[in-house]
Structures are given as C-alpha cells and as structure tokens.
Amino acid sequence: DTEVTQTPKHLVMGMTNKKSLKCEQHMGHRAMYWYKQKAKKPPELMFVYSYEKLSINESVPSRFSPECPNSSLLNLHLHALQPEDSALYLCASSQVGGDWEAFFGQGTRLTVV
C-alpha cells in the first residue's frame, strides 16, 4: 500500500467556520508533511512532523493548527481562515533519514468564502 489518503477531497468553508483536513498513510512512514499549493504555483511547505513531533513550521499563521495523533494520521485544523487561504492542501509522508521519496496524497481543494 503506497497510498496517502486525504479527506475530504473538496471543502468549502466560511471565514468563521472551524474545519479539519485529514491525512492517513499505512506505509510505516514516520515523517508527515502539509503543503499548500496555490493555482499555477509550486507546493509550499507548511509543516513537518517527525516521529509524531512537529519539527518544522514554516512561519504558518496560527489559524492553521496541525496535529499528529499517531504515526499514521495527520490533521490540519482550520479556524478563521481568509479567502486568500483558498488553495490545494497536500499531505505527504516519507521515511525519516537516509534516502527517501515523499508520497503525496491527492489533496484537499479548499475554498474559503
């Protein structure tokens, strides 16, 4: 199983809503990532978790709150987002250390209205 599964595939939320994006993998990877991709732009790293601990936060606003409840799951909690936060949110996973490739999920397309 080399899949990274993200839910939901599409999400529309108001600026006062609270929602969560979910990501799951069963490849035994101990590093998980959130990326944000705006239209016609490359993915931009938001957060990295290694061994369920947050290791990298790329100065992401606090209205985005990541959580890694166990080695297979990664959540991104959203609160008080702005329309400019509308984007494709990608989850990825990989091994930690050594040579590895990242496996990406299909993403959640988020629209903030």
CB of 16 to another protein, least distance (A): 30
DSSP class of 80: S
On the 0-12 / 13-18 / 19+ scale of CB atoms within 10 A, 70 is exposed
Which amino acid belongs to residue 41?
Answer: K
Joined tokens for residue 102: 């990242």
With CB under 8 A as the contact rule, which of the stretches 11-19, 66-74, 79-87, 96-104 interacts with another protein? 96-104
CB of 58 to another protein, least distance (A): 9
Q: Which residues bind another protein (CB under 8 A)?
A: 31, 33, 40-45, 48, 50, 55-56, 90, 92, 94, 96-97, 99-102, 104-107
